[in-house]
Chain A
Amino acid sequence: MTFHITVDGRPVPVVPGQTIGAALHAAGVRSWRTTRFGGRPRGLFCGIGVCFDCLISVNGRAPERACLLEAEPGDEVTTA
């Protein structure tokens, strides 16, 4: 009973209860933003809401922590 979210328009499967970060990792997407100064790729690091490396924009909202945000059917995720 998986559902899908879209990542840059591409469908990514989600097991109910998974966070956006876990779903992306499972799909082999391990970075989804770049840093302000060095343009360095970033994804999950602490995985528990402390480091803010995994910020991501969902449904056009301001960036949130992918490791905390439970994925919901139809979520549209944009990577940088």
Chain B
Amino acid sequence: MTHDRVTYDLVVVGGGPAGVAGALTAALAGLRVALVDTGTRLGGQYFRHAAEPKPAPGLARFLRQGRALAARADVLLGHQVWNVSREPDGGLTVHCLTRRPAGERAVELRARRLLIATGAHDRPLPFPGWDLPGVLTAGGAQALLKGGGVLAGRRVVVSGTGPFLLPAAAGLAAAGARVLGVYEANGGLGLARHPLLALGKAGEAAGYTATLARHRVPYLTRRAVIAAHGEREVEAVTLARLDRDWNVLSSRVVACDTVAVGYGFVPQIELGTQLGCRTRADVDGSPVIDVDAAQRTSVPGVWAAGEPAGVGGWRLAELEGRIAGRAIAADHRADHRADQRADHHTGHPADPPPVFARRRERWRAFGAALQRAYPVKPGWQGWLRDDTLVCRCEEVPLARVREAQAMGATDARAVKLLARPGMGWCQGRICGYAVSCLAGEPPQEPRRPVAQPVTLGALASLTHPQTPATPQDPGDDPAH
């Protein structure tokens, strides 16, 4: 079938727990639904799995949901959404790129409603040597393992902050890596009093703890990797003991071949900000999409679920997806009735059943508590040297950021214009948080006219979106 001609009642962007739950809920209610995801399999980050999936908590259920969805909706994998635009008739056009079956081409989906379920990515902090091959985000190390069964390295140091370091380290250790330690920059409670236990996730935390203990992996708090060393790859790291603000108290060098780092998560909200959705500051100050009780954003016809609406983990994401799916189905029914009666539709938000609302409050409180327990403290800025790259894409060292500030750049935007951090391929996704911190302001909303770099060939094919498979010109540069 061609996807260019139908108008979907709902297009969902993101095939993780939030997106699949939302899409399935709406499809079961009779809506015509398409779900779009960049990956080659459903799952998002948490439920990422290999072609032959290994058992993991919740995965069997998720895979059942995915199969049920595929039977009732168009699931478009390998499709990247780079923009959603509002049409004169009030509908939405979801602009995607796909490279299948032959070469990159543009695909447009028409939608009456949109669910943003785009998840989050790791939030890295820069440190000397963080651009050496062998330094990966904790999520990147997890993705290699879950998606391809590949160990990121043999002698691995896990560092950063937050509960996600535990599954990342446990996964690596269980798969045969020698994990030299988990170095948690925050809090001095240790594993036995880890907030995951205090917050009623005892089963989950106990599983990771047991795995780490079985493989004799030490979990040490107020410690972090503050530098990576090597010529072509990581050969060693500097491990530091930190004070409560992450200033270095003492340090030593340890040989290793791989570092997995993560300092929390960055919700992917650019589709929402492109459409003008109102944002709010999450617990840690990061902008997230503001939603009402029914997961509806401030923009008519647009809902958000999961991390883009506030970081809280996969259970919250799935629940929010279900709530959004119900609300979207109610909106669809209301539109339908309005059409039949030809009268005006006032659009009451479909509030979730109390049991869903209560459970959502509980998971949100849990997410907020974790964010409060694992903040990013300012001392990391002292780990940087003048030549430490802040922006990996444009290779902007700290010295150039400081130079821009000396020239009068007082905020992150001015720093970006003068020194170009965040102007490269990743459009500031990786360095945006760090640049905001260095500029002394809270993390900024993304201002990206496109959510993914697009080749000129693909843009050109937009005027004829039905034209099949236009191979791109290899000489094309990405448009920013």
Contact = CB atoms under 8 A, between A and B. Distances in A.
Nearest to A37: B395
Nearest to B233: A30
Nearest to B38: A49
A50 B472 contact: no
B476 A30 contact: no
Nearest to B397: A38
A25 B133 CA distance: 10
A70 B426 CA distance: 20
A31 to B, nearest CB: 4
Among B50, B122, B147: residue with most chain A CB under 10 A? B147
Nearest to B431: A51
Interface in A1-55: 15-19, 21-23, 25-26, 30-31, 35-38, 40-53, 55
Nearest to A19: B148
A31 B148 contact: no
Interface string B230-241: 001100000000
B356 interface: no
B148 A62 contact: no
A64 B455 CA distance: 11
Interface in B132-160: 132-137, 139-144, 147-152
B474 A47 contact: no
Interface string B388-412: 0000110100000000000000000
A50 B122 CA distance: 9
A40 B131 contact: yes
Q: Chain B interface secondary structure, helix, strand, loop or mixed?
A: loop
Nearest to B231: A41
B148 A45 contact: no
A52 B426 contact: yes
B426 A43 contact: no
B231 to A, nearest CB: 9
Interface in B440-480: 453, 455, 472-476
Contacts of B150: 18, 22-23, 25-26
B435 to A, nearest CB: 15
A61 B148 contact: no
Contact of A46 (B40, B137, B149, B395): B137
A67 B134 CA distance: 14
Contact of B51 (A17, A42, A47, A61): A17
A36 B423 CA distance: 14
Interface in B93-138: 99, 103, 121-122, 124, 131-137
Contacts of A50: 121, 426, 429-430
B144 A44 contact: yes
A41 B392 CA distance: 11
A69 to B, nearest CB: 8
Contacts of A49: 38
Give the 6 A-B residue pairs with the shortest CB-CB distance, closest first.
Answer: A47-B140, A22-B148, A17-B51, A52-B425, A31-B133, A18-B148
26 contacts: A16-B51, A18-B149, A25-B150, A25-B152, A30-B134, A37-B395, A41-B133, A41-B233, A42-B133, A45-B131, A45-B135, A46-B137, A46-B139, A47-B144, A48-B121, A48-B140, A49-B38, A50-B430, A51-B392, A51-B429, A52-B426, A55-B425, A61-B472, A62-B476, A67-B140, A67-B143
Given A17-B40, A62-B455, 14 more contacts: A15-B51, A19-B148, A21-B144, A22-B148, A22-B149, A25-B150, A35-B395, A41-B232, A45-B124, A48-B143, A62-B475, A64-B99, A68-B38, A68-B39
